[in-house]
Amino acid sequence: MNMWSSGRRVLHDLLRQPAVRSFSLSPAQNTVVVERWWQVPLSKVGSPPRLHPRRHRIYKLVEDIKHAPKEKMELILTQTVPKLGGRGDTVFVKKSVGRNKLLLQGLAVYPSPENKQMFAEELRLLREGKPEERIQTRTGQLTVALLKRSKLKILKMPSDEFQLTKEVVCRQFQKKLGVVVPPHALSLPFESVKDSGDYWCEVTVNGMDTVRIPISLVPYEDPSASYQRQLKTQMQQPQATTDVSETAAEEVVSAAAEGEAAVQAVSDATVEAEAGKDSGSQVSEAAALAGVSADQDQTAASTRMSQDTTAPPSDSPKKDDSK
Amino acid sequence: MPFHKYSPKIWEALKLKQGIYARLPKHYLKSLEQKDPSPVHWRPLGVQYRANPTTRQKERVQDVPIPIYYPPSSQDGLWGGEGWISGFRYANNDKMSTRLKKTWKPQLFKRELYSEILDHKFTITVTARTLDLIDAAFGFDSYILSTSKEDLNSKLGMDLKRAMLLRLARRNTELYPSDPVKREKVYNKYKQFEIPEEEAEWLGLSLEEAVEKQRQLEHKEPEPLFKACVEELVKELHVQKLSEPHLIENK
C-alpha cells in the first residue's frame, strides 16, 4: 500500500487529471495551482461545506506551471519547411514557433484525428495508388537532385567471372553513394557486361521520376591503404627531378618492373605502347594521389618497393602478356 | 405568523416564473441555471471515498472548490477559466509564521486569433492556458464550440459561440457566400456542433438581453381605435340592412 502511505500531496500528484474535461488529452495547463493549508470539515451530503472566512482562505502554492520546463507541441507539416521536414511529417516544435509562424502562415496543421487520417490517406495513395495521383515527397525530390549530379565508378573484381549485373550495381550504389536502390527501381540497358568502359543506368524514384546515372567500369586496383601509399610515393619521388607528364608514365611502369630484372626496363617502352589504355587510367589515379597531400616516407619507400611484385597483380599479367 | 409567504431565499427563482420571464423559451431558462466550472486553480480529489493516509480507514471525502474572483474585464477576453485568487499565505510557508495577504493574478496577453467560420481576426486578451486549450481542441473555433458556458466564463466567448452557431445554421446565406468549396469544407469540419437556429439565437444571452429580445418579439404596433369602431359600425349596418323586410316589387 505504498500509494497511501505518503500523504495527501502524493495523492494530489497522482490524481493529476482534473475531474471534468471536454477533450481526452489535456496537458498541464499554464496556471497557478493552490491548496488549502487547513482541512475543511466534512459536511452532510447535499449541503455545502461551511468555510471559515480566514482559516480556509489560507492557501499554499502547489505549483506554478509557468515556471515548469516548457513543453513542445506536435504539429503536422503541410509544406517543406527548412530544418523541420516535408509535407506530412509530424514534428515537435516550441509552442512560440508553432503558433506564431507555422499555424499562422498555414505551413502546419494540428494533429487532429481528421487531419491525421487525411495524411495517412495521402501516404497510402503514394504506396498503392496509380502513378498519376501521387505527389513526389520532399525526400524524393532531394534524392532526385542528388542522383542527377552523381556518377558511379565501379572497380572490377580481380576474378575472371566478374559480371556487371543489377545486383552488383545496386550494391555499388549502396556502398559508394549511400543510396539504397531496390532492383525493381533500377533498369540497365544491358544484361551483364565484363569489359571496362562507360555505361549508364536508370533509377526510378518513388515510381515517378527517372534519373539517368553514368557508370564507369574500371579495372581492379587495390583499395588498401598500403598500396595507395606506395602509388603516392612513386608519384612524388621522380617528380622532384623531372617533368610530371613524362615521368608519370615512366615511373609507374618502372615501379611495376622494379621487382623484376633491370633488363626488362628496356622493353618497357613497348609495354607502354600496348598497355596505353591501362596506364592512362593509372596515370590519372596516380596524378590524383600525387595531388593529395600526404607524408613523405623516403626510408619506407625502399621497403615498399620490394612489395611491388605482389602489389599490382593486374600489371604483372599484362606485362607478361606483352612479353 | 410568518413574515413572508415565501422565504426570501427563493424569491429569485420565483421571479423567473412570472411575467415576461415565464414566456422566455424553455431551453434558455435551463441554460441560466448555475453550474460549477471545472477546476482550474485547484486539484480535485475526484473520488467520493478514499483510505485515510494515517489511519488507513475508509473515509468519505468531498471536493471544496477555491473561490475565484472574475473581474469584469475577464468577460471581455477569453481567460480560459482563470481568475484572481485572493487569500492569505504563510510567510516562508511555515504555519507558525505571519499570515500575509496574497492575490494571485494570471498573466494576460493580447493575441490575434483567426476564426474560420467567421472569417475574421479577433484581438483578444488571453492567458497562456487559453492558448494551450485552443491547441488541445485543435483549433480556435473547435475550442469555443466545445467548451461549455461555465468553462468559458466570458461574455465575449459566448457571443462568439452564438455567432458561430448562427452562421453554421444559416450556412447557405452567410457562410462564405462567394466560395462554395470552402463553405463545404468548413461546414463538414464543424458539423458535429450544429444546433437549430431557434436555439442558437438565444445562446449566451444575459437575462436583460433575453428579456429585451422577447419584448421585441411580442411587440405589436397599437391599432388605432378608429379602425375597430369603423368595423363595428359596418357590421351593425349590415345587420340592420338584413333585418329590414325584403321588399319584392311585383310589377
List CB contacts (< 8 A) between A22 and chain B. Answer: 137, 146-148, 151
Please state, in angstroms and as integers, the Cα–Cα distance from residue A136 to each residue in A126, A127, A184, A295, B245, following that order: 8, 11, 18, 48, 100
Q: Which residues of A110-145 are buried (b: 16+ CB within 10 A; e: fewer)?
A: bbeeebeeebeebeeebeeeeeeebebbbebeebbe
Sign of CA dihedral A84, A87, A89, A93: positive
pLDDT at A17 over 50: no
Query: E strands, chain A, where?
Result: 32-36, 59-64, 72-77, 90-94, 108-109, 152-155, 186-187, 197-205, 209-218
- Residue whose C-alpha cell reads 581492379 in the numeric block: A220
Q: What's the pLDDT tens digit per position in A190-210?
A: 777 777 778 778 888 777 777
pLDDT at A292 over 70: no
In DSSP terms, A58 is beta-bridged to: B88
CB-nearest to B43 from A15, A30, A37 is A15
Q: What's the pLDDT tens digit per position in A107-141?
A: 999 999 999 998 888 888 777 766 665 666 777 77
Residue B118, C-beta contacts closer than 8 angstroms, at least 6 positions apart: B160, B163, B164, B167
In whole angstroms, give the CA distance from residue A172 to residue A167.
9
pLDDT of residue A160: 72
Q: What's the pLDDT tens digit per position in A161-177?
A: 777 777 878 888 888 87
Cβ atoms of B75 and B83 closer than 8 Å: no
Residue A223: closest CA among A155, A162, A314 = A155
Q: What's the pLDDT tens digit per position in A263-286?
A: 444 444 444 444 444 444 444 444
pLDDT of residue A210: 79
CB-nearest to B104 from A7, A32, A111 is A32
In whole angstroms, give the CA distance from residue A203 to residue A214.
11
List CB contacts (< 8 A) between B68 and chain A. Answer: none
List CB contacts (< 8 A) between B128 and chain A. Answer: 30, 66
- Residue whose C-alpha cell reads 416564473 in the numeric block: B17
Instruction: Tell me if chain A has a CB within 8 Å of the CB of B93.
Output: yes
- Indicate yes or no: CB of B135 within 8 angstroms of CB of A110: yes
Query: E strands, B62-197, where?
Result: 85-90, 99-104, 108-115, 120-127
Instruction: Report which of residues B142 and A28 the model is more confident about.
Output: B142
List CB contacts (< 8 A) between A47 and chain B. Answer: none
What is the band of A250 on the pLDDT scale with cuts at 50, 70, 90? low
What is the band of A212 on the pLDDT scale with cuts at 50, 70, 90? confident
Q: What is the CA radius of gyration of chain B?
A: 30
pLDDT at A288 over 90: no
CB-nearest to B51 from A4, A18, A21 is A4
- Indicate yes or no: CB of B104 within 8 angstroms of CB of A34: yes
Whether pTM exceeds 0.80: no
Q: Provide the shortest C-alpha distance from residue A43 to chain B (in Å).
A: 8
Cβ atoms of B38 and A21 closer than 8 Å: yes
Residue A40: closest CA among A61, A57, A20, A62 = A57
CB-nearest to B127 from A6, A30, A95 is A30
Q: Which helix (H) or strand (E) holds B49?
A: strand B49-51
Instruction: Tell me if chain B has a CB within 8 Å of the CB of A44.
Output: no
Instruction: Tell me if chain B has a CB within 8 Å of the CB of A20.
Output: yes
Instruction: Tell me if chain B has a CB within 8 Å of the CB of A23.
Output: yes
Instruction: Tell me if chain A has a CB within 8 Å of the CB of B91.
Output: no
Q: Which of A31, A52, A109, A116 to mutate to test the interface with B (most CBs of B within 10 A)?
A: A31
Cβ atoms of A95 and A102 closer than 8 Å: no
In DSSP terms, A211 is beta-bridged to: A203
Q: Provide the shortest C-alpha distance from residue B110 to chain A (in Å).
A: 13
Q: Provide the shortest C-alpha distance from residue B117 to chain A (in Å).
A: 16
Q: Which residue of B has its CA nearest to A115?
A: B138
Residue A248: closest CA among A294, A279, A292 = A279
In whole angstroms, give the CA distance from residue B26 to residue B16.
11
Residue B215: closest CA among B55, B80, B19 = B19
pLDDT of residue A170: 82
- Indicate yes or no: CB of B135 within 8 angstroms of CB of A36: no
- Residue whose C-alpha cell reads 531496390 in the numeric block: A182
- Residue whose C-alpha cell reads 572490377 in the numeric block: A156
List per-residue pLDDT tens for chain B, 251 residues long: 889 999 999 999 999 899 899 999 999 999 998 898 999 999 998 888 999 999 999 999 998 999 999 999 999 999 999 999 999 999 998 899 999 999 999 999 999 999 999 989 999 999 999 999 999 999 999 999 999 999 998 999 999 999 999 999 998 888 888 989 999 999 999 999 999 999 999 999 999 999 999 999 999 999 899 999 999 999 999 999 998 887 777 76
Q: Which of A12, A20, A52, A99 to mutate to test the interface with B (most CBs of B within 10 A)?
A: A20
Cell of B82: 482563470
Instruction: Tell me if chain B has a CB within 8 Å of the CB of A68.
Output: no
Cβ atoms of A52 and A77 closer than 8 Å: no
pLDDT of residue A255: 47
Instruction: Report which of residues A87 and B20 the model is more confident about.
Output: B20
HEC profile of A57-84: HEEEEEEEHHHCCCCEEEEEECCCECCC
Instruction: Tell me if chain B has a CB within 8 Å of the CB of A54.
Output: yes
List CB contacts (< 8 A) between B131 and chain A. Answer: 95, 99
- Residue whose C-alpha cell reads 605502347 in the numeric block: A273
What is the band of A9 on the pLDDT scale with cuts at 50, 70, 90? low
Q: Which of B54, B123, B138, B161 to mutate to test the interface with A (most CBs of A within 10 A)?
A: B138
pLDDT of residue B75: 93
* Mean residue pLDDT across chain A: 70
pLDDT of residue A310: 46
Residue B133: closest CA among B144, B118, B123, B148 = B144
Query: Interior CA angle at B95 toward B89 and B98, to 5°?
Result: 60
In DSSP terms, B123 is beta-bridged to: B112
List CB contacts (< 8 A) between B85 and chain A. Answer: 32, 34, 59
What is the band of A51 on the pLDDT scale with cuts at 50, 70, 90? very high
In this complex, how many residue pairs, one in chain A and one in chain B, have their CB atoms less than 8 Å apart?
125
Give the pLDDT mean for A56-66. Answer: 91
Alpha carbon B20 to its chain centroid, in Å, reads 18
Instruction: Report which of residues A298 and B105 the model is more confident about.
Output: B105
